[in-house]
Amino acid sequence: MAEPAIKNDVTRVGVSLGARVEGINLAAGYSEYTIRELRDLMLEHHLLVLPDQHLSALELEAFGREWGDLLTHPATKHRDTPYVQFIGGRARMFKFTVGVHPFGGGWHSDMTWHATPPHITGLHAQQLPAMGGDTAFANQHLAYETLDDATKEEIADLKAFHTGKVFGPDVEDSIHPVVRTHNESGRKALYVNGNFTKYICDMPDDDSEKLLFKLFAHATRPEFTYRHRWEINDLVLWDNRSVMHYAIGDYNELRTMHRIVVKGDVPV
């Protein structure tokens, strides 16, 4: 007998991206069929919210491996496994993460400095402040598709330099296309961010700065975004090929998360 579809338990959470998937208990087990349906939903919605998931770090790691090989991160690791990051902090009120371009303000796609940046990130809420600590997400397919034709032509073949040196002197740098083509859907997306993208290759510094300013400002227009208000045990998965995110630093209490990042392909 075929497994029941989960799509009847799916509701959109935002106009531009995101869907909430009810009725799945990952701790109780899941099949290849469920993973396939989640993959299909990811391609459609770019971000999935799976509420009320009671997973240990090792169970989260096992679920992540259903999506592909996992990457480690140079900044933080869970005590039980290097493939789950423990992300915790308090007193974050108005302490921004800002790169060279302050208008980027912390918007980023994970680990774009890596040669094969993650195609999927999963964030699992462990402890939350009474108020604040939301995460905002921005659909980069829409960001690209709403650019004027002249800008699309200007950036079509450009590449940009991404650095991870903020995490240590030995962390790699990479060069990736400014416009990335999703290797499953074929849709194009902007692929620059204020945290890790430092300049456009083979372009004078002033011109590079102006162009990045324009692209960063456009990429995070409110029309392209969804803001997730976390609840304990929420598991949020998103597609780094099509989505940027921003962790909003408006809280003083402890906020802890477990994170997995699934290795992707070389961006093209």
- Within a domain: 204: yes
For each of the chain's 268 residues, which pLDDT tens digit applies? 345 556 558 999 999 999 999 999 999 999 999 999 999 999 999 999 999 999 999 999 999 999 999 999 877 778 789 999 998 876 666 665 545 444 445 899 999 999 999 999 999 999 999 999 999 999 999 999 999 999 999 999 999 999 988 888 888 999 999 999 999 999 999 999 999 999 999 999 999 999 999 999 999 999 999 999 999 999 999 999 999 999 998 888 999 999 999 999 999 9
- Within a domain: 220: yes
Residue among 19, 53, 62 nearest 38 (CA): 19
> Do residues 16 and 226 lie in contact, with contact meaning Cβ atoms separated by under 8 Å?
yes
> Do residues 107 and 117 lie in contact, with contact meaning Cβ atoms separated by under 8 Å?
no
Task: Report how far residue 136's alpha carbon sits from residue 222's, in angstroms, rounded to the nearest whole number.
Answer: 10
Structural domain count of the chain:
1
Task: Report how far residue 47's alpha carbon sits from residue 132's, in angstroms, rounded to the nearest whole number.
Answer: 20
Please give the full DSSP string across 114-152, using - where no structure is assigned.
Answer: SSS-EEEEEEEEEE--SS---EEEEEHHHHHHTS-HHHH
> Do residues 235 and 198 lie in contact, with contact meaning Cβ atoms separated by under 8 Å?
no
- Within a domain: 2: no
Range of the domain at 42: 7-263
Residue 81, token pair as written in the block: 């496994």
| pTM across the whole model | 0.92
- Within a domain: 268: no
Task: Report how far residue 29's alpha carbon sits from residue 11's, in angstroms, rounded to the nearest whole number.
Answer: 22
> Do residues 248 and 136 lie in contact, with contact meaning Cβ atoms separated by under 8 Å?
yes
- Within a domain: 89: yes
CATH number of the structural domain spanning residue 227: 3.60.130.10
3-state SS track over 199-244: EECCCCHHHHHHHHHHHHHHHCCHHHEEEECCCCCCEEEEECCCEE
- Within a domain: 32: yes
- Within a domain: 1: no
- Within a domain: 45: yes
